[in-house]
């Protein structure tokens, strides 16, 4: 399943709540989770 997660604010060491193994340095973009 493909889900889009949009974060309005940039966060440091962002960790996805559903997939903790996915972390981003800049989450101020639209990210594709669960490719």
Burial class (CB in 10 A: 0-12, 13-18, 19+), 35: exposed
Q: How far is CA 1 from CA 17, 22, 33, in A?
A: 16, 15, 8
Retrieve residue 3's tokens. 């889900």
Question: What's the pLDDT at 26?
Answer: 47
- If one counts the domains in the chain, the total is 1
Question: What's the pLDDT at 23?
Answer: 56
Range of the domain at 21: 3-33
Task: List, for residues 13-30, the tens digit of each pLDDT value.
Answer: 555 666 655 555 444 455
- How far apart CA 11 and CA 35 sit, in angstroms, is 22
Q: Report the 10 Å Cβ neighbour count for 14.
A: 18
């Amino acid at each position: 399943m493909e889900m889009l997660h949009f974060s309005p604010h940039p966060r440091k060491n962002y960790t996805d709540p559903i997939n903790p193994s996915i972390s981003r340095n800049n989450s101020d973009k639209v990210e594709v989770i669960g490719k």
